[in-house]
Amino acid sequence: MPPQVSKEVSTYSDSLSVYRISGISDSQIWEIGREHVQTENRLIKARADISIEDVYKNNLRVVPDMQPHHRHANIMLFPADRLTCQRIATKLALASKLVIIPPEET
């Protein structure tokens, strides 16, 4: 029997939800994550920090959203072409710094 192909429509967004963390402590960053990102079914284990310069280098913009927190924003203007979008997302991932949540913040 051949593998089943999902008929569900994959979700795609032309923006990426982020929090602007410049000028605040690691503890404050983890607190924002616990209060506004973490859910009962999705615990925070790490975060990826990226500079705004790396966002701009990829012809993207950071647009303040202010909801659900005053530091919330969206990285916008991802191209409609999915392959180009994936390439940009990979560049952003490679430019970011992985920060594992310390035991005292869990």
Does residue 92 fall inside a structural domain?
Answer: yes
CB-count burial class (<10 Å; 0-12, 13-18, 19+) for 55? buried
* Domain count within the chain: 1
Q: What is the mean pLDDT of residues 30-54?
A: 95
- Is the pLDDT confidence value at 6 over 80? no
pLDDT exceeds 60 at position 8: no
Domain membership flag for residue 39: no
Is residue 87 a part of any domain in this protein?
A: yes
pLDDT confidence of residue 80: 86
Instruction: Look at residue 23 and tell me if it is in a domain.
Output: no
Whether 30 is in a domain gets the answer: no
Which residues, in sequence order, are CB contacts of 9 under 8 Å at separation 6+? Answer: none
Confidence (pLDDT) at 106: 79
Write out pLDDT tens, residues 47-85: 999 999 999 999 999 999 999 999 999 999 888 888 998
